Amino acid sequence: MAIRVTIWNEFRHEKRVPEAMEQYPDGLHACVGAFLSKDEEIEVTLAALDDEANGLPDEVLNNTDVLMWWGHMCHNLVPDDLVERIYKRVVEQGMGFIAMHSAHFSKPFRRLTGMPCALTWGDNMNGIVWNVMPNHPIAKGIPLNFGIYEELYSEPFSIPTPDELIFATWFESGNIFRGGVTYYRGLGKIFYFHPGHETCPSFHNPIVQKILTNAVHWAAPNATGEGCLVGDVHQTTAVTDVLFGTKE
């Protein structure tokens, strides 16, 4: 059964900023969708902030296995109730969530991590992504390091302690950044990946494409609709009695 991926994009820069329009004429979500679609097990839906229901009506969200997110200048235009619907879909139902680049500061990522997720940033420049967990499924087939040309993102990065630190990035300005990290939260799995500035070519980079494709497979839910972690449960029968029968 295919993994149903919805790629959500703010999709404003690529309509107005010449450099972004050049890199991603149809929107960067379209670029991401195109390379993901080469994987026969992945089924792509595109969604944008300015679409009806902000691109994520219930019928879309509830049929999404992995939600990918890119936002930047319009984080605040994402309605809080949509954020809560995304949150519940991840934590209670196991939808994967992949935050790309400036989505570190998006409402859903901050809600899911509970942290400010603030960082230090600067100009576009040369960077080197180091693969420090080569045995992780997301790092499958990825070299030990590779070059990027990207917006500087740097520590201090106020995220929770990563459950897994897969990639860390070196920048020529002297900075480093924990740019590829995972979180297991409730029934869901979350991946943050740094490359993907709207004026940089990273989504055209085959290594970046491979990482995001791997991440979709990794983040796909174990099962959906379980609801087992929804809330406070009052247990009135001993588990021992349920599993082994009541002692007499």
Tell which positions 72-111 bind a second copy, by CB under 8 A: 91, 94, 105, 111
Task: Assess 137 for contact with a second copy (CB under 8 A).
Answer: yes
Nearest by Cα to 164 from 190, 143, 127: 190
**176-215 residues near a second copy, rule: CB under 8 A:** 176, 178, 183-189
To a second copy, the closest distance from the beta carbon of 173 in angstroms equals 4
Interacting span for a second copy (CB under 8 A) from 30-38, 77-85, 200-208, 220-228? 220-228
Q: Which of 22, 26, 58, 155 binds a second copy (CB under 8 A)?
A: 155
CB closer to a second copy out of 76 and 222: 222
CB closer to a second copy out of 23 and 182: 182
Q: Which of 25, 26, 77, 145 binds a second copy (CB under 8 A)?
A: 145
To a second copy, the closest distance from the beta carbon of 39 in angstroms equals 17
Q: Which of 25, 79, 116, 227 binds a second copy (CB under 8 A)?
A: 116
Task: Assess 222 for contact with a second copy (CB under 8 A).
Answer: yes
Please give the Cα distance from 247 to 192 (Å, whole number). 50
CB closer to a second copy out of 50 and 84: 84
Q: Which of 59, 233, 246, 248 binds a second copy (CB under 8 A)?
A: 233
Task: Give every CB contact of residue 42 below 8 A, 6+ residues apart in sequence.
Answer: 2, 3, 5, 36, 213, 216
Interacting span for a second copy (CB under 8 A) from 10-18, 58-66, 78-86, 239-247? 239-247
| Residue 207 burial by Cβ neighbours in a 10 Å radius (0-12, 13-18, 19+) | middle
Residue pair 223/94 in contact by the 8 Å Cβ criterion: yes
Nearest by Cα to 114 from 95, 154, 87, 94: 87
CA angle 194, 75, 108 (to 5 degrees): 70
Please give the Cα distance from 211 to 15 (Å, whole number). 27
Task: Assess 119 for contact with a second copy (CB under 8 A).
Answer: yes
To a second copy, the closest distance from the beta carbon of 33 in angstroms equals 25
Strand partners for 44:
5
Dihedrals phi, psi of 23, to nearest 5 degrees: -65, -45
Q: Which of 17, 63, 158, 225 binds a second copy (CB under 8 A)?
A: 158
Tokens at 216, concatenated: 């979709």
CB closer to a second copy out of 34 and 77: 77
Q: How many CA atoms lie within 13 A of 228 on its CB side?
A: 8
